[in-house]
Amino acid sequence: MPSGEVASARSVVIIEDEAPIASAVAARLRSEGYRVEVAPDGPAGIELCERVRPDLVVLDLMLPGLDGLEVCKHIQSDRPVPVLMLTARDSETDLLVGLAVGADDYMTKPFSARELVARVHTILRRVERSSAEPVPGPVHLGDIDIDPASRRVRNCGELVHLTPTEFDLLLHLASRPGVVSTREQLLSAVWGYPDGSGARTVDSHVRALRRKLGDDVIRTVHGVGYAVEGTAAAARR
């Protein structure tokens, strides 16, 4: 295995119909050593992801043909890949957070290419860090089995598809049953964000996990944060 410095270039697919934005982001990512390919619409983006199997996807929400939500579903049903979603307004981000669409992070336009590249670095560093860490043993949460080695989750034996960030968040909470984590602590531990910005990103991922695994999988501790109860809560079902 090559060391981090000389590891083969990570690849990013950009799916964005606004050519000036796509080319500015692509140029910046290339200058940072990423391999970058761009698709101008949803169907082409899905095809490109199947062919390139990128390490990360930058995905615009408003696309001709197939919107970003549909594209996100498609590319993540193939395999878990981190998605950074671009939106036109904060209100759209709020809506997406409410829908828990499975993006790993969101950026609202306008943003600087530098800012986006910093976000891409952070997401990839986190994914790589979690795959480089010694793998803990399986964690059981009632009917939910979490296997860190394969990064797979089963609920009553049924495989449940989680995004990379959803998986990391679930594993983090499930490894600490009964411990309440604040949103800031989760952002730091799971996302690697030191400044505590992005609390609604945490809420979005909690919502997605509840939708996929049941409302009682994660408990909200009002005014504090989130926790799992461990086997006691899940055993009640």
Q: Give the footprint of Ca ion on this chain (CB under 5 A).
A: 17, 60, 62
Rounded to whole angstroms, the Cα distance separating 96 from 70 reads 12
Using CB positions, name the residue nearest to Ca ion: 62
Rounded to whole angstroms, the Cα distance separating 208 from 18 reads 29
What is the strand order of the sheet 56-60 is part of? Answer: 35-39, 11-15, 56-60, 83-87, 105-108
Tell me the two tokens of residue 223: 């005014």
The residue (of 33 and 110) whose beta carbon lies closer to Ca ion is 110
User: To the nearest whole angstrom, how small is the minimum distance from the Cβ of residue 83 to Ca ion?
Assistant: 15
The single residue listed with the structure tokens 């296997």 is: 147
Of 81, 119, 88, 80, nearest in space to 201 by CA: 119
The residue (of 103 and 233) whose beta carbon lies closer to Ca ion is 103
Task: Provide the 8-state DSSP code for 52.
Answer: H
User: To the nearest whole angstrom, how small is the minimum distance from the Cβ of residue 109 to Ca ion?
Assistant: 9
User: To the nearest whole angstrom, how small is the minimum distance from the Cβ of residue 112 to Ca ion?
Assistant: 18
The residue (of 45 and 230) whose beta carbon lies closer to Ca ion is 45
Cβ proximity of 126 and 192 under 8 Å: yes
User: To the nearest whole angstrom, how small is the minimum distance from the Cβ of residue 96 to Ca ion?
Assistant: 14
Q: How far is CA 149 from the centre of its chain?
A: 18
Task: Provide the 8-state DSSP code for 136.
Answer: P
The residue (of 103 and 174) whose beta carbon lies closer to Ca ion is 103
The residue (of 67 and 94) whose beta carbon lies closer to Ca ion is 67
The three-state secondary structure class of 10 is: coil
The residue (of 13 and 218) whose beta carbon lies closer to Ca ion is 13
User: To the nearest whole angstrom, how small is the minimum distance from the Cβ of residue 37 to Ca ion?
Assistant: 17
Residue 53 half-sphere exposure toward CB, CA atoms < 13 A: 3
User: To the nearest whole angstrom, how small is the minimum distance from the Cβ of residue 81 to Ca ion?
Assistant: 20
